[in-house]
Homo-oligomer: A and B are copies of this chain.
Amino acid sequence: MALIVQKFGGDALGDKGKGKARSGDEPLFGAQFLHDKFAYMAQLVKKSTDRGDKVVVVVSAMGDATNRLLAMAASLTPKAPARELDMLMATGEQQSIALMAIALHSIGVPAMSLTGAQVGIITENVFGKARIREIDTNRIEKALAEGYVPVVAGFQGATADQEFTTLGRGGSDITAVALAAAIKADVCEFYKDVDGIFTTDPRVCASATKIDRISYDEMLELASLGAGVLQSRSVEFASNYKVPLHVRSFLHDNVGTYVVPEEKEMEDVVVSGVAFNRGEAKISLKSVPDQPGIAAEVFGRIGAKGIVVDMIIQNLAVDGRNDISFTVSRSDYEAAMEIARKLATDLGAGSVIGDDTIAKVSAVGVGMRSHSNVASRMFKALAENGINIQMISTSEIKVSCVIAEKDLDRAVQAIHKAFEGDRRAVVNN
C-alpha cells in the first residue's frame, strides 16, 4: 500500500485547443467530452485505490479554461487588478475538482474536492504568482483517514487572510509536488499524453528511447532546454524535498519515467538526453571598447526591457576592442536588435550583426562529471556531419551548441547516435 499523489493536467482534462485562447463565443465542453475526460481519469484513480493505495488527486482547469477566463476579464479592461484575476481564475480548477469528485463518486470511489484554501495551501501575499509558504496537512490527512480520495485544486492557494492566490503558469505541478512533500507521499505521478521522458524528441530522432530513471538535475536541464514535460519550478521543488516523480501516460498502464535523486548508476550513462530549442536568435556587437562596466551596460539595457538572454560569449580583446555575442528567444529578436543598434552608437562600437535562423542543441547527463570527453565527442559528431558550431556553452552536466536552424534535425540525430552505444551498454549490463 502506497501513498500516491496523482496529477491530471490540462492535456489529460483538456482538448487539442490547449494553450490557444479562444473567444468566449466558441463552444467549450460538451457533455460527451466531459464524460469522456473525467470518467476516464476517475477509472485511472480507481485502479490505484482498488490496489489498496491511498491517493490524493490534483487537477488543473479543463483544457484552455484559464485562457478563456483571462479573455473574459480582458473584454472588460486590459488592466484588471491581479487580485480579481486570481479570484476569477480560481474557478477553473474549482470546477475541475467538483467534476472529478463527482466522477469518482459515480464509480464508487468516495472523493472530496478541496480548494487550495480548504486544503491549507498558504501562500505569500502576491497575486498571480504566489509562492507557497506552508501547507497545513490536517484537512487532507483527515479526509484520507476517513477513506476519501481528496481531489485538490492545483494552481491555487490562499494567504493567511483567506485571499485567493494563484501560483503562476504550471502552478498545478507545484501544487502536486508540494502536497506530495507535505504528506510524505511515496511518489507523485504526472499523467501526461506522452509515455515519459525521452532521450530526445522521437519526432526528430526515430531511435529516441524512453528514459527509465533520471535525476532532478538532468530533468531540470532538459525542462529548461525545451523538453517541456514538467515545469522547472516543480522539478526544483521535488529536488529540494526529494519527492520521487513519475511521468507516465494516461493512455496505458506502462511504467513511465521516474525523476529521482541522483543515483550512483546514473553516472554510467554519459548523456541522458539530447535537448534542443528551435526558436532562438543571435546578436553580435562587434568591436566594443574593452572597458569595465561595458557588459553590465549592454545586458542591463536588454534586461530592462524584460528580454531574457541565454548564452553570452565574449572574445579575448584585440587592440582594446572585443566582440560580444548573445542569444535571445526569437520572439525578442527585433526588440533586442533595436537596443543593440542604439548601444553600438552610444558605446562607440562597430557593427551589429543579427541572425534569427539559429537553434540550440544540448547534451545533458550527470555522467559528464566523470567522463571528460563528452564535449569533444559531441563536436566530432557535428563536424562529421558538416555542421558548423557558432557558439558553445557548458555547465557541469550539459554541453550546448548554437548551430544553423536548418542543421538542427541532423545535429540531434548525430549527437543522439554518438552516445547511443554508451546508454545501450549500460542498460544491457
Q: Which residue of B is nearest A88, CB measured?
A: B98
**Contact between chains at B106 and A84 (CB < 8 Å):** no
Is the Cβ of A81 less than 8 Å from the Cβ of B94? no
CB-based contact A87/B73 at 8 Å:
no
Assess whether B73 is in contact with A98, with CB atoms less than 8 Å apart: yes
Question: Contact at B98–A85, with CB atoms within 8 Å?
Answer: yes
Contact check, A112 vs B83: say whether CB atoms are below 8 A apart. yes
Which residues of B are found within 8 Å of A83, using beta-carbon distances? Answer: 112-113
The distance in angstroms between the C-alpha atoms of A31 and B98, with both chains bound, is 26
Interface window among A19-27, A191-199, A285-293, A393-401: A19-27
Question: When the two chains form their complex, are residues B88 and A99 in contact, meaning their CB atoms are under 8 A apart?
Answer: yes
Binds B, one of A33-41, A181-189, A264-272: A33-41
User: Hey, which chain B residues are within 8 Å of A30, CB to CB?
Assistant: 23-25
Chain B residues, Cβ within 8 Å of A26: 27
3 A-B pairs closest in CB distance: A77-B106, A88-B98, A31-B75
Contact A87 B97 (CB under 8 A): yes
Scan residues 40-80 of chain A and give those whose CB is less than 8 A from a CB of chain B. 69, 71-77, 79-80
Interface residues of A (CB under 8 A from B): 23-35, 38-39, 69, 71-77, 79-81, 83-85, 87-88, 90-91, 94-95, 97-99, 101-103, 105-106, 111-113, 115, 117-118, 162
**How many angstroms between the C-alpha atoms of A154 and B408 in the bound complex?**
57
Min distance, Cβ A192 to any Cβ of chain B, angstroms: 23
A80 touches B95 (CB 8 A): no
User: Chain B residues with Cβ under 8 A from A105's Cβ?
Assistant: 77, 80-81, 84
Interface CB pairs A-B, < 8 A, 18: A24-B31, A24-B34, A25-B27, A25-B28, A27-B27, A28-B28, A31-B75, A35-B76, A76-B106, A79-B106, A80-B102, A84-B98, A84-B111, A87-B97, A88-B94, A91-B95, A91-B98, A117-B117
Asked if B101 and A94 make an inter-chain contact with CB atoms under 8 angstroms apart, the answer reads: no
* A76 proximity list for chain B (CB < 8 A): 34-35, 38-39, 99, 102-103, 106
Complex CA distance for A27 and B77, rounded to whole angstroms: 22
CB distance from A60 to the nearest CB of B (A): 15
- Which residues of the other chain, B, contact A73 by a CB distance below 8 angstroms? 98-99, 102
The minimal Cβ–Cβ distance linking A326 to chain B, given in whole angstroms, is 39
Residues in B with CB closer than 8 Å to A101 are 81, 84, 87
In the complex, the answer to whether A99 meets B118 with C-beta atoms within 8 Å is no
Q: Which one of B95, B103, B112, B162 lies within 8 Å of A118 (CB-CB)?
A: B162
Most buried by B among A34, A39, A111: A34
Taking CB atoms, residues of chain B closer than 8 Å to A35 are: 75-76
Give A111's nearest chain B residue, CB to CB.
B84
Residues of B within 8 A of A85 (CB): 98, 102
Query: In whole angstroms, how far apart are the Cα atoms of A331 and B84 in the complex?
Result: 43
Identity of the chain B residue whose Cβ is nearest the Cβ of A79 in the assembled complex: B106
* Complex contact A71–B23 (CB within 8 A): no
Q: Which residues of B contact A75 (CB under 8 A)?
A: 31-32, 34-35
Nearest CB in chain B to that of A33: its residue: B24
A185–chain B nearest beta-carbon distance, Å? 24
Residues of B within 8 A of A112 (CB): 83
A25 to B204, CA, bound (A): 37
Known: A24-B33, A77-B105, A91-B95. 9 other contacts (CB 8 A): A25-B28, A38-B76, A39-B76, A73-B98, A73-B99, A76-B102, A77-B102, A81-B102, A83-B113
Q: How far apart are the CA atoms of A103 and B102 in the complex, in Å?
A: 33
Residues of B within 8 A of A38 (CB): 76
